[in-house]
Amino acid sequence: MSVLSAASDCIPIHEASQHIGETKCVTGKVLRVKIGNKGVHFVDFCEDHAACPFTVVVFPSDLKDVGDVRQLAGRTIEVNGAVKLYDGRPEIILKRISQLRGGAAMIPPLPKNYDVDNRGHYSAGRLHPSRKPKKHKAKRSTSATYGNNVEGDNPPE
């Protein structure tokens, strides 16, 4: 298959709504990549995300198989996948780098210290969530005296 025929079977983003439930190639120029709640990445093709006729979604668990999607900003991409309707708008969920064609398929992998749980901020990372410090009980003093019985004191007679 030549590059020209590969591009010709892609539909523009404004036609995606006509292909809900189909596996299609959708093409468009990426304006920005936004990181939402819980590390979900949204590939935006329009200034107003809510009014855009199409979006690409990458879940944090798929980033290791897709790569650094932030590098797609400013590029014209071709993404292949099942066109689904979510919140009244067509989208493709990007799960693998093989769903991207052309120059967009050349994005680098995520940096090793990229923390997807921290919404894209870099950190050294941890294998386990931080633990609360253990509570230490105060030891009873053996020299403390209680009541009226004090060593050396003779009780009154």
Find the mean pLDDT for residues 32-53.
89
Read off the pTM. Answer: 0.64
How sure is the predictor about 143, in pLDDT bands with cuts at 50, 70 and 90?
A: low
Residue 43, Cβ neighbours under 10 Å: how many? 25
Any domain includes 19: yes
pLDDT of residue 96: 92
Q: Is the pLDDT of residue 19 over 50?
A: yes
Contacts of 7 (CB under 8 A, 6+ apart): 27, 78, 102
Give me the number of domains the chain comprises. 1
Any domain includes 156: no
Any domain includes 144: no
Any domain includes 24: yes
Any domain includes 50: yes
Q: Is 131 helix (H, G, I), strand (E, B) or coil?
A: coil
pLDDT of residue 64: 87
Query: The CATH number of the domain where 103 resides is what?
Result: 2.40.50.140
Any domain includes 94: yes
pLDDT of residue 3: 44
pLDDT one-digit tens code per residue, 103-136: 666 676 776 666 655 544 444 444 455 566 666 6
Structure tokens that stand for 155 in this block: 């009780």
Query: Quick one: what percent of the chain has pLDDT higher than 70?
Result: 61
Any domain includes 41: yes
Whole-angstrom Cα distance, residue 154 to residue 35? 77
Find the mean pLDDT for residues 4-18.
78
- Separation of CA 65 from chain center: 12
pLDDT one-digit tens code per residue, 50-92: 889 999 999 999 998 888 898 899 999 999 999 999 988 999 9
Q: Is the pLDDT of residue 37 over 90?
A: no
Any domain includes 16: yes
State the chain's mean pLDDT as an integer: 78
Burial class (CB in 10 A: 0-12, 13-18, 19+), 31: middle
Q: What is the extent of the structural domain holding 22?
A: 3-109
